[in-house]
Structure 1
Amino acid sequence: MQDDTGLLAGLTVVDLSQFLSGPYCSLRLLDLGARVIKIERPDGGDLSRRLYLSDTEVGGDSTLFHAINRGKESLAIDLKNEDDLAFLRTLFAKADVVIQNFRPGVVERLGLDYEAVKAINPSIVYASISGYGEEGPWVMRPGQDLLAQARSGVMWLNGDEQQGPVPFGLAVADMLAGANTCQGILAALVRRGISGKGAHIQTSLLESLVDFQFEVLTTHLNDGGRAPKRSDFRSAHAYLSAPYGVYPASDGYLAIAMMPIGKLQDLLELVELQPYRDDSKAWFTKRDEIKQIIASRIATHTVDHWLSILEPADIWCAKVLQWSELLQSDGFRILDMLQTVTREDDVSIDTTRSPIRVNGKRPTLGRAAPRIGEHSADIRREFEA
């Protein structure tokens, strides 16, 4: 439900989207104080209710649905029903933001596209998320995260060289597109506050993944078009030299970031690194050989042993934590990033909180994701009045 003290308090967001990208965007707006009315089909609702990340189910829905839709209101709308469409247009007339991620052409057929909504509400901020934009040969391809990663080139930056393309283990395209859409919406709301004018914000999974790669793509565009070359040994970044990587210790893993090889040679007491000590070009051209030498040394002692040597010398390094270790660490606990959200039907689920603090405080919205159409009657009474 809406946070009356949030930065966006008083703003109403009508979210027609489903799955991840659009709902992630509206979740960020909700955490900043906006009211989010989620539009769902009466027969089944958002498809992500049945998109399971594990065999865990809470209140009949997936943990994914709960994580990304906490605190929202659900309005059941049959988009094939003229009366429901008429009410939806009534809702648009009083809304501040509309979000949709239908495949291109669908909202036009429904009469719910930006131009149609703008005719009802000229100051509306309307956001569209697609898979690959609104034009071109990929328009009608499924806008799914793994497929967008496959077309973006990003898979050639992960894993070791001999592994071939390796996808991210997260729905990174969806999350980035949602974050980019949120940024565009916030900018449009600022302009509307100045000029009274609305706007149409558009992005796609592919555009967001291209932007995600702006550093390495800029390098590619200006170094003769050479393809990225990942390390064959514990690669952590296709474009960074040794020692950048993750190394097995005797009891875990140690991440080591950028540093002069000579300094690392002294601290690790590795005479084998002498040929590369002052040859910065070799740190890249002989990256695998250098990393294998370092790995053989790191493997001889514990992570804490190496941290006790490297951290006092201001070497950028860290123990690689599993989730259980992260959640128990003081560094994580002090951030207060977890919350328990509940619902009147005894649904209770532990999840994360907003990553943004405002005036030193992190927004807290304690209500779980809604049941399908849970708020339909109240919303209809409110907006039909």
Structure 2
Amino acid sequence: MTDQIRLLEGLTVLDFSQFLSGPSAALRLADMGARVIKVERPGQGDICRYLYVAKQKIAGESTIFHAINRNKEGVSIDLKSPKGLRNAKALIKQADVMIQNFRPGVIERLGLGYEEVKALNPNLIYASVSGYGIGNTHLEHKPGQDLLAQSISGLTWLNSSREQPPTPFGLAIADLSASYQLVQGVLALLVRRAKTGSGGCVDVSLLESLMDLQFEVFSNFLNGGQAKPRRCSNANAHALMAAPYGIYQTSDGYIALANTAVNKLGGVLGIEELCRMDDSRLWFTEKTFIFSRLQNLFVTEPSDHWLDLLSQSEVWCSPVLDWPELFANSAFKQLNFFQTVMQGDEQMHTTRCPIRINGEVSRSSKGSPTIGADNASIYQEFGLEE
């Protein structure tokens, strides 16, 4: 089944990248209608093909690889051979966008750095992902890996509660953030190219993307005497938000409370001490007391009891769902967020593009390519050497 948004139809994207950040950016462009050709080395291909989650495989390879490389064509080229380099350059001359995330200096040594590529195709949009920023001599040789970037960025000190050690996100937040930034840069340069006819180069890094993700707390740090965020002792959800913002245990699960006046909440719940807190400054200075008082009450009844009571008084709240509960939720089902793609003779269930254009979503049943899957047609179409 294919019901794809065609906004970028007619554009050719060369995906020279591996792992998550670059391929995820290329995937989003593919979902918007661009033709994405994944360029891999013969034999081994993208190392992500062998990056298994819970030892799970589909069509003999990693589910991660298939999830972020679906809807692409595949060609194999040995960039270290003279013929392979000529073929790569022949492709680049005819492409609109090139994405790469080689280690710093590698792409230049191959002869495919931006200046060399710009001479081949001045109209090309050249998109690069690094771990820690172009020219960062202190970190450029450190592996550009998600957990390492999270740890350097300070992000891990925002998660969990005060007594807990630094806690990383349970997903590749650095890679994904960088991929979103890269797509924005590519699209901005495509708009400029449509107006001026000139291409350009966009660079993003895992570290800088995580720094941008923290712009809210960084701004407070920079303008507030550079005091470190102090996580709450319990129910912590945001180190800078006033009580009651957080997650609380009930007798059968958890609920979340967002921004709510503490004195109003005290009235709804019948907690006299909170009713008297009409000075909003106390919602910051007395967070530990407020959280403890609320937690002691919420644990006495099931989640539905509290959600019904709070919702009737227009208190911002929600259940905290695990994945089975989310998938069974009628509101989530209405989004129809999953799709099925084909990996050879096997089916793979995965997510769709989250963007709606004119109320429509983009879907495609086309899975990820095997290494060199489209060599015959691409070599012929682009005039590459066999």
TM-score (norm 1): 0.97
* 1:294-331 Cα distance to aligned partner (Å, 9 max, x none): 01111111111111111121111000011111112121
Listed as ranges, the matches of 1:153-232 within 5 Å are 153-232=154-233
* 1:233-281 Cα distance to aligned partner (Å, 9 max, x none): 1211010111111111111110001111111111111224345x21322
> How far has the Cα of 1:135 moved from its partner?
1.5
The equivalent residue for 2:354 is: 355
- What is the RMSD computed on CA atoms of the aligned residues? 1.5
The equivalent residue for 2:288 is: 288
Aligned partners of 1:248 and 1:295 also within 8 Å: yes
Aligned partners of 1:50 and 1:61 also within 8 Å: yes
> 11-20 or 158-167, which moves further after superposition?
158-167
Aligned partners of 1:341 and 1:365 also within 8 Å: yes
Letter aligned with residue 346 of structure 1: D
Secondary structure in 1 aligned to 2:357? coil
> 37-46 or 107-116, which moves further after superposition?
37-46
Aligned partners of 2:101 and 2:129 also within 8 Å: yes
Secondary structure in 1 aligned to 2:259? coil
Letter aligned with residue 351 of structure 1: T
Aligned partners of 1:2 and 1:36 also within 8 Å: no
* 1:63-95 Cα distance to aligned partner (Å, 9 max, x none): 111111111111111121111111110000100
Aligned partners of 2:2 and 2:363 also within 8 Å: no
Aligned partners of 1:2 and 1:9 also within 8 Å: no
Residues of 1 paired with 2:168 and 2:354: CA distance?
A: 25
Q: Which sections of structure 1, spanning at least 5 residues, go unmatched? A: none
Letter aligned with residue 309 of structure 1: L
Residues of 1 paired with 2:203 and 2:116: CA distance?
A: 16
The equivalent residue for 1:38 is: 38
Show structure 1 runs of 4+ deviating over 3 A: 1-5
The equivalent residue for 2:377 is: 378
Listed as ranges, the matches of 1:36-115 within 5 Å are 36-115=36-115
Aligned partners of 2:265 and 2:275 also within 8 Å: no
Letter aligned with residue 168 of structure 2: P
> How far has the Cα of 1:6 moved from its partner?
0.7
Residues of 2 paired with 1:59 and 1:4: CA distance?
A: 24
Letter aligned with residue 356 of structure 1: I
Residues of 2 paired with 1:269 and 1:62: CA distance?
A: 53
The equivalent residue for 1:118 is: 118
Distance 1:76 1:333, change over 3 A: same
> 32-41 or 76-85, which moves further after superposition?
76-85
How many pairs align? 383
Letter aligned with residue 226 of structure 1: A
Distance 1:230 1:148, change over 3 A: same
Aligned partners of 1:2 and 1:34 also within 8 Å: no
Secondary structure in 1 aligned to 2:18? coil
Identity rate of aligned residues, in percent? Answer: 50
The equivalent residue for 2:333 is: 333
Residues of 1 paired with 2:152 and 2:286: CA distance?
A: 31
Aligned partners of 2:4 and 2:32 also within 8 Å: no
Secondary structure in 1 aligned to 2:236? coil
> How far has the Cα of 1:2 moved from its partner?
9.7
Distance 1:377 1:34, change over 3 A: same
Residues of 1 paired with 2:327 and 2:11: CA distance?
A: 34
Listed as ranges, the matches of 1:255-266 within 5 Å are 255-266=256-267
* 1:158-191 Cα distance to aligned partner (Å, 9 max, x none): 1111212111111001001010000000010011
The equivalent residue for 2:17 is: 17
Q: Which sections of structure 2, spanning at least 5 residues, go unmatched? A: none
